[in-house]
């Protein structure tokens, strides 16, 4: 069958993340050796060249006082940090007052009766012809109220699982038009059975249904809908694409809370790469998500920006790359991340006291796996305020050594994105914190 998927389309570019576009070392044969510069900007992979830096104190209020208890964190420090991340990194989001939904499929038996499948359309505006996302849900058939693993994906639902009963859906091409997913290609599928057999439900949503992942995407996505008359872009402290995806996930949560067959107190959120950043920011901003797993979130996610190792703020905000994923204010910190009032450890800390697993790969240098570990260590005092367990070590663990405390870290032997065995770790983390196993 001849594929009609355009190799130059934005979605194809994003789905090649795990191949060569963001990897500093080739794992595919497409490139040889480290990428010494990206977008004309040098890349550092040498620990001896990491500049001296000091992290902002996650427990110091803007008035200089020290946070000494969980109550002060909740009432004062947490709101301060949310505001700073809104203003300086991700951008403010609008309310969700127009969100509504329609259940397209209420519960069809699948997986030889082991699960039921639900399909729901989330409408982001009053208009049901546009600005909508398909939410695919699988739940264990014998469980009255199941925990749920919600994955925000690079591909539409019908390409993310092996199930001919999933609604086809649409995807973006490079011309800014939505095309049927039948004209696209599969890039791997999720093993739903693995979760169902452990009593855990699975849900999928396609990020492109919320906001297209390219610079002109705001013309077609939810950001553009909210632009005021005469505006061609959001204000400097208003949402970029990551906040848009986070906003869409909160809309999905609005539905999930209404479904009595789902334990809305046990919903885990998962994303990879830029969607790992999205999972972190969503979990930080929306406390209804009970657990977060962020895979290879790197710069703008769990990796310390001040380390300037691998991808940096300057790489991300370059006009040829991913500036549109952040609010415009982020560009102020490209030349000197030390001037930014926030860094990744603060984003990690905002998930506390809920369980958070940072998963990465030991050869994913571009995403700085050590920087993610440093971030988790620096966020640990906030978990301790709540009597929760952080990593409890300052020694960077070897690949294959999971730390699955309330604040967890796991690094597989390999590069960017998850490998099949990582899902066993995810399930172990979910079982420990959701099922007390």
Q: What is the 3-state secondary structure (H, E, C) of the chain?
A: CCCCCCCCCHHHHHHCHHHHHCCCCCCCCCCCCCCCEECCEECCCCHHHCCCCCCCCCCECCCCCECCCHHHHHHHHHHHHHHHHHHHHHCECCCCCCCEEEEEEEEEEECCCCEEEEEEEEECCCCCCCCEEEEEEEEECCCCCEEEEEEEECCCHHHHCCCCCCCCCEEECCCCCEEEHHHCCCCCCCCHHHHHCCCCEEEEEEHHHCCCCCHHHHHCCHHHHHCCCCCCCCCCCECCHHHHHHHHHHHHHHHHCCCCCEEEEEEEEEEECHHHHHHHHHHHHCCCCCEEEEECCCCCCCCCHHHCCCCCHHHHCCCCCCHHHCCHHHHHHCCCHHHCCCCHHHHHHCCCCCCEEEEEECCCHHHCHHHHHHHHHHHHHHHHHCCCCCCCCCCCCCCCCCECCCEEEEEECCCCCCCCCHHHHHHHHHHHHHCCC
Going by pLDDT thresholds of 50, 70 and 90, the confidence category of residue 23 is very low
pLDDT given at position 350 = 99
**Is 433 marked active-site?**
no
pLDDT given at position 143 = 86
Percent of the chain with pLDDT strictly greater than 90: 87
Give the mean pLDDT of 70-78: 98
**Residues 396-424 pLDDT 10s:** 999 999 999 999 999 999 999 999 999 99
Catalytic entry in 285, 315, 412, 416:
416
**Is 250 marked active-site?**
no
Supply the mean pLDDT for the chain. Answer: 92
Q: Would the pLDDT of 25 be above 50?
A: no
Q: Would the pLDDT of 7 be above 50?
A: no
pLDDT given at position 176 = 73
What's the whole-model pTM score?
0.93
pLDDT given at position 437 = 86
pLDDT given at position 34 = 66
Q: Would the pLDDT of 264 be above 60?
A: yes
Catalytic entry in 273, 297, 305, 375:
273
């Amino acid at each position: 069958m001849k594929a009609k998927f355009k190799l130059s389309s934005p979605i194809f570019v994003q789905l090649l993340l795990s191949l060569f576009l963001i990897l500093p070392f080739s794992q595919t044969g497409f490139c040889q050796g480290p990428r010494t510069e990206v977008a004309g900007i040098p890349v550092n992979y040498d620990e001896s060249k990491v500049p001296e830096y000091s992290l902002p104190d996650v427990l110091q209020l803007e008035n200089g006082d020290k946070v000494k208890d969980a109550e002060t964190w909740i009432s004062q420090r947490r709101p301060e940090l949310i505001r700073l991340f809104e203003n300086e990194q991700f951008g403010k989001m609008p309310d969700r007052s127009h969100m509504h939904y329609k259940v397209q499929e209420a519960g069809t038996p699948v997986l030889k009766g082991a699960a039921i499948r639900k399909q729901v359309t989330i409408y982001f505006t009053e208009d049901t012809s546009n600005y909508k996302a398909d939410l695919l849900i699988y739940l264990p058939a014998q469980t009255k109220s199941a925990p749920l693993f919600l994955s925000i994906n690079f591909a539409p639902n019908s390409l993310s699982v092996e199930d001919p009963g999933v609604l086809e859906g649409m995807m973006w091409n490079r011309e800014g038009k939505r095309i049927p997913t039948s004209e696209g290609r599969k890039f791997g599928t999720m093993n739903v059975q693995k979760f169902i057999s452990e009593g855990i439900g699975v849900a999928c949503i396609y990020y492109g249904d919320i906001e297209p992942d390219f610079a002109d995407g705001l013309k077609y996505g939810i950001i553009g809908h909210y632009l005021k008359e005469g505006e061609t872009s959001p204000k400097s402290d208003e949402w970029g694409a990551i906040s848009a995806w986070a906003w869409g996930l909160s809309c999905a949560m609005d539905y999930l809370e209404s479904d009595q067959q789902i334990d809305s107190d046990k919903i885990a959120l998962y994303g990879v790469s830029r969607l790992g950043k999205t999972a972190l920011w969503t979990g930080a901003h929306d406390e209804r998500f009970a657990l977060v797993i962020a895979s290879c979130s790197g710069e703008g996610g769990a990796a310390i920006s001040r380390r300037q190792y691998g991808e940096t703020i300057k790489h991300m905000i370059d006009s040829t790359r991913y500036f549109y994923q952040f609010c415009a204010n982020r560009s102020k910190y490209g030349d000197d991340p030390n001037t930014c009032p926030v860094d990744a450890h603060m984003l990690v800390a905002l998930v506390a006291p809920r369980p958070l697993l940072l998963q990465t790969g030991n050869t994913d240098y571009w995403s700085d796996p050590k920087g993610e570990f440093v971030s988790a260590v620096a966020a640990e005092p906030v978990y301790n305020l709540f009597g929760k367990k952080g990593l409890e070590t300052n020694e960077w663990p070897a690949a294959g050594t999971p730390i699955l405390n309330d604040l967890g870290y796991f690094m597989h032997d390999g590069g960017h994105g998850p490998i099949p065995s990582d899902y066993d770790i995810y399930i172990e983390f979910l079982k420990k914190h959701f099922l007390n196993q």
